Amino acid sequence: MPTLLIRRADVLVTMDDGRREIADGALFARDGVIEQVGTTAELPQTADRVIDMAGRVVTPGLVNTHHHLYQNLTRVVPAAQDALLFGWLKTLYPIWGRMGPEHIRASTTIGLMELAETGCTTSSDHLYMFPNGARLDDSIEAATGIGLRFHATRGSMSIGESKGGLPPDALVEDEAAILRDCRRVIETFHDPSRFAMVRVGVAPCSPFSVSRELMRDSAELARSYGVGMHTHLAENVEDVAYSLERFGVRPGAYAEALGWCGPDVWHAHCVQLDAEEIGLFARSGTGVAHCPCSNMRLGSGVAPVREMMAAGVSVGLGVDGSASNDSGHMLAEARQALLLQRVAKGGAALTARQALELATLGGAKALGRDDIGALAPGKAADVSAFDLSDVAFAGAQWDPVAALVFCGPARADLTVVNGRVVVERGRCVTVDREMALERHAALARALIHDSH
């Protein structure tokens, strides 16, 4: 039962029920679970591993609720730099279609390393195409190697261009095969227990790439196993127009009719939700992954986050795939969430502490977890620390907690997942970092070469 003591933090942000911020803060964990939180003087003075966090702000590990990790092999593709969602997808589908198992493993390793080195301890991933023998297993194995808590969602596309969908026919799968593979990966990998490191969710890609039947059957299957459900919804006006034209209803009604509302569901984006849909999500406990950088990058609009929060919707933050961000940095996402709400709704729309809450506790709730997102007894020892001597924080001693969101965005000095150090002095220490970067670069170069 190894013990861990993190002590002498300038401020320890708990996100506990009282939202305490403890000066000279400390945390004591045993076997990956927090036992005590308080001042350094109040806690045990020794442990198997003692980490001195003087000069740091310590926070709950950041929780990323939406990603497409494979997309980090296709950052800043010139032809997709300036397109809206549908044009962007149509440009990138053929490149993504050339990937295989090795691409999934390499991109998952690099994407999670990037997240870990910026303070994220739990990430969701939405893998929705499986070309050339790729499987969800590839991403889960890579995530296990890095040591981040991982919500792998088994995505799917079944309606290709010839049937009125957006993706090329070559990238869609047979619906019976999709459902069979969903069962297989849930039965193989899903861990429902508290402090689980791997959970599996069911995630048909979007209304314009799967059938109504697959949406409905996926929901039934997910509920029969008690796993989470995830998809893209109401991302931009083209997405809403597709829903109205093809299904005769707005995205919220479409989701509700097919069983896609409830506390076990979190939808990505929701930029174009109207007041009625926000009410539906609040009543049903449906969660939202807000992805401000991607929404700006793809010109999708400003999600009604202020209104969702006021209505009581569970909102978390997601970095989205690195082809539409093109970064994977949760504090950058929190910063953009704050700035974007203020552009739309004025200076009081979102505070730094609210943005930090979306990035921690909000994400945990959206993923249906009450064991992460806060530093309190009985929660997982998922911890991030940011070094206040970084130039990004120079002069920000006025309010180091707000500085995490207003300044920077800073990289993490320390990231601990389940009591295990994953990032130390800013570097991921669980895998061979340089080798992983070299392998990823070689795969990206080959994709570029084959595109010319």
Ligand X SMILES: Nc1nc2[nH]c(O)nc2c(=O)[nH]1
Select from 201-209, 337-345, 369-377, 423-431 the region that touches ligand X (CB under 6 A): 201-209
In angstroms, what is the minimal distance from the CB of 138 to ligand X?
18
Please say which residue, 159 or 221, places its beta carbon nearer to ligand X: 159
Write the interaction track for ligand X spanning residues 13-42; mark x where CB under 6 A is met and - where it is not. Answer: ------------------------------
Helices and strands (DSSP H and E) totals, the chain:
15, 17
In angstroms, what is the minimal distance from the CB of 419 to ligand X?
33
User: CB nearest ligand X: which residue?
Assistant: 206
> Is residue 68 near ligand X by the rule CB under 6 A?
yes
Please say which residue, 195 or 208, places its beta carbon nearer to ligand X: 208
> Is residue 143 near ligand X by the rule CB under 6 A?
no
Map the footprint of ligand X across residues 257-296, applying CB under 6 A: 294
What is the 8-class DSSP label of residue 360?
I
Strand runs labelled E in 141-197: 149-156
Q: Which residues lie below 8 Å from residue 262, measured CB to CB, with a gap of 6+?
A: 229, 284, 285, 286
Q: Is 424 helix (H, G, I), strand (E, B) or coil?
A: strand
In angstroms, what is the minimal distance from the CB of 269 to ligand X?
7
Closest of 197, 260, 186, 196 to residue 226, by C-alpha: 186
In angstroms, what is the minimal distance from the CB of 288 to ligand X?
14
Please say which residue, 120 or 205, places its beta carbon nearer to ligand X: 205
In angstroms, what is the minimal distance from the CB of 166 to ligand X?
7
49: which 2 tokens?
A: 């591993």
311: which 2 tokens?
A: 């209505």
From the number of C-beta atoms within 10 Å of its C-beta (0-12, 13-18, 19+), residue 224 rates as exposed
In angstroms, what is the minimal distance from the CB of 355 to ligand X?
20
> Is residue 154 near ligand X by the rule CB under 6 A?
no
Q: How far apart are CA 279 and CA 289, in angstroms?
A: 16
Which of 118, 121, 122, 209: binder of ligand X (CB under 6 A)?
209
Closest of 318, 272, 274 to residue 293, by C-alpha: 318
> Is residue 324 near ligand X by the rule CB under 6 A?
yes
Radius of gyration of the chain (CA): 21
> Is residue 308 near ligand X by the rule CB under 6 A?
no
Select from 205-213, 335-343, 385-393, 437-445 the region that touches ligand X (CB under 6 A): 205-213
> Is residue 206 near ligand X by the rule CB under 6 A?
yes
The amino acid that residue 138 corresponds to is D
> Is residue 8 near ligand X by the rule CB under 6 A?
no
Q: Which residues lie below 8 Å from residue 438, measured CB to CB, with a gap of 6+?
A: none
What is the 8-class DSSP label of residue 359?
I
Report the length, in residues, of the chain.
452
Q: How far apart are CA 139 and CA 216, in angstroms?
A: 26
Q: How far apart are CA 399 and CA 409, in angstroms?
A: 15
> Is residue 235 near ligand X by the rule CB under 6 A?
yes
Please say which residue, 77 or 356, places its beta carbon nearer to ligand X: 77
Please say which residue, 117 or 235, places its beta carbon nearer to ligand X: 235
DSSP H helices, 232-387, are: 237-247, 251-257, 275-284, 292-297, 305-311, 330-345, 352-357, 363-366
360: which 2 tokens?
A: 């921690």
Please say which residue, 206 or 360, places its beta carbon nearer to ligand X: 206
> Is residue 232 near ligand X by the rule CB under 6 A?
yes
Which of 4, 58, 69, 89: binder of ligand X (CB under 6 A)?
89
Please say which residue, 85 or 388, places its beta carbon nearer to ligand X: 85
The contact set with ligand X (CB under 6 A) reads: 68, 85, 89, 205-206, 209, 232, 235, 294, 320-321, 324
